[in-house]
Structure 1
């Protein structure tokens, strides 16, 4: 999931044969949807909950962004649904087919264990997006409030889903691997509830991309003079051994975007 407005895909030859590609599909997303402080995001899991007799997976046109939602059958939870519409909220614009369904624990006093995030590299970091909507008609004395707990640490304040309104919570800073649970608060009369979840791993890039303004300028020069150099593909300054021909770059540090200093 890159963050730039443009993208060049490179097929790298690693053997005696010629690289080839049949199809490439891209989906634009708003800059305020999935964010990360550094690096880019790799999707690990995106699922919603439904019964075994329900539809199998959701994509476009149900999801305007053509995200692929995988179906998970609840085994140790209670599955609930509604026929009423759930109001959407920007920027995530979740499908009705996802938000009209939810799960709660079979035992109202027990936590709802959502997923266990782990990887071979213990230093890996993760972002998790939790999608909620209260789809049950609550009585006057009913309340639903719970903590979101990551490896026995509450990292978000007590939360109550909005009535028939989609809402999304996520960790603002990347977190390490561990178990994620929804834990009912002492003042709540109802167990926790969730409609869908997305988990991403942070992919730290070895270098920052070349300064965006410099790249735009080079593209303008390339178009104005109808230049057609084979090496002018991908990032102009990176990797350094494959830098564009006829330019020189300034490299300050790994975290600082390189600058094009001469042409």
Structure 2
């Protein structure tokens, strides 16, 4: 079946300039912080952190071990642990119907003096829905995107009998209503990977990303590949708002070879992938086919200094647990495939799942592109 194409036209803005100062809709909680100290501002990005007492009942406040305090980002120097009760929840204030990003970080730091990080395991829930399992939480975080269903949302740590649950920080970021059309009141998703391809910057986040998403640098995975960059501003796609500094780097395949993204997971998880493209030149044809396992292929010519996004339109689970995305040049292409950034998410199943009409046929891919 030939894929159906959906083009969306938006007004776009220029990239963020990186000015320091907290955005509206930011809530940053320093778990286990002494409430007597009050809130404080991180001097690097202007984000304000506050104690967690008003958002959670129960639990114990701890400092990480002295040897882990020096040079530690301040919110990760304390934790709140929950040795009592099976389910302990943070109640986060939200606006019903609004989109949010929530991130929970657990940085062990031997806070209990037991050096037991490798044996700790507990679950995270977004309301009544399973979100993720925290394993060996020496410095682990989990992120979810969702639509709020009430004026507050519970983010819960569930004791599964394999160590005491704890959290170092909980952050909530309100998102634009246009961002990530795939999420809705009955469908949330958790972040698996978010890569800033071709960049040697370890992590890029706020203020360059106004929603404080974290983009991890990934230089060319093979010495035969080539890292590309430009100083030109990349136009913004309001459905994804990838920061211009992320889109200003890319990886290009060697000669006319292919690029691949591959991962394995035999668990019954359904994935959604967003690939971001912007070419830095418009003098030669760059054209390639993108395929995702057996879902077929879609032909892409990255727009010049503009943000094009390619995604599988349905949540996908590979029968064998092996996932391969291949970017293969066409015979007509003068330049090899390139990729600027990509995001991988897993579906958070809801107790009241989204249902779709049985007689509706879905495209293999949706390609979002700005038109001028």
- Does residue 62 of the first structure (1) align with residue 204 of the second (2)? no
Specify the alignment match of 1:176 in structure 2: 317
The 1:185–1:25 alpha-carbon spacing in structure 2 relative to 1, beyond 3 Å, is same
Specify the alignment match of 2:264 in structure 1: 118
1:131, CA displacement in angstroms? Answer: 0.6
Runs of 5+ in structure 1 lacking a partner?
209-253, 257-263
The 1:49–1:21 alpha-carbon spacing in structure 2 relative to 1, beyond 3 Å, is closer
C-alpha distance in 1 between matches for 2:159 and 2:316: 35
C-alpha distance in 1 between matches for 2:259 and 2:166: 45
Deviations 1:199-228 (A, max 9, x none): 0111223x11xxxxxxxxxxxxxxxxxxxx
Determine if contact 1:134/1:161 at 8 Å carries over to the other structure: yes
1:92, CA displacement in angstroms? Answer: 1.4
State the SS of the aligned residue for 1:98: helix
The 1:56–1:152 alpha-carbon spacing in structure 2 relative to 1, beyond 3 Å, is same
The 1:187–1:65 alpha-carbon spacing in structure 2 relative to 1, beyond 3 Å, is same
State the SS of the aligned residue for 2:236: coil
Specify the alignment match of 2:296 in structure 1: 154
The 1:10–1:195 alpha-carbon spacing in structure 2 relative to 1, beyond 3 Å, is same
Deviations 1:167-216 (A, max 9, x none): 212111012232001111222111111100000111223x11xxxxxxxx
TM-score normalised to structure 1 length = 0.68
Q: CA RMSD in A?
A: 2.6
The 1:59–1:5 alpha-carbon spacing in structure 2 relative to 1, beyond 3 Å, is farther
The 1:90–1:201 alpha-carbon spacing in structure 2 relative to 1, beyond 3 Å, is same
State the SS of the aligned residue for 2:173: coil
Greater mean alpha carbon deviation, residues 164-173 or residues 2-11: 2-11
TM-score normalised to structure 2 length = 0.49
Deviations 1:152-173 (A, max 9, x none): 5434x31111111112121110
The 1:58–1:151 alpha-carbon spacing in structure 2 relative to 1, beyond 3 Å, is same
Determine if contact 1:131/1:166 at 8 Å carries over to the other structure: yes
Runs of 5+ in structure 2 lacking a partner?
1-144, 356-372
Determine if contact 1:130/1:197 at 8 Å carries over to the other structure: yes
Give the length in aligned residue pairs. Answer: 200
Specify the alignment match of 1:79 in structure 2: 227
Mapping of 1:20-31 within 5 angstroms? Answer: 23-31=169-177
The 1:9–1:187 alpha-carbon spacing in structure 2 relative to 1, beyond 3 Å, is same
Specify the alignment match of 1:132 in structure 2: 277
Mapping of 1:99-248 within 5 angstroms? Answer: 99-108=247-256, 110-113=257-260, 115-121=261-267, 123-136=268-281, 138-139=282-283, 142-151=284-293, 153-155=295-297, 157-177=298-318, 178-205=323-350, 207-208=351-352
Larger radius of gyration: 1
1:117, CA displacement in angstroms? Answer: 3.4
C-alpha distance in 2 between matches for 1:84 and 1:18: 49
Bigger share in strand: 2
C-alpha distance in 1 between matches for 2:164 and 2:293: 47
C-alpha distance in 1 between matches for 2:238 and 2:211: 12
Determine if contact 2:201/2:216 at 8 Å carries over to the other structure: no
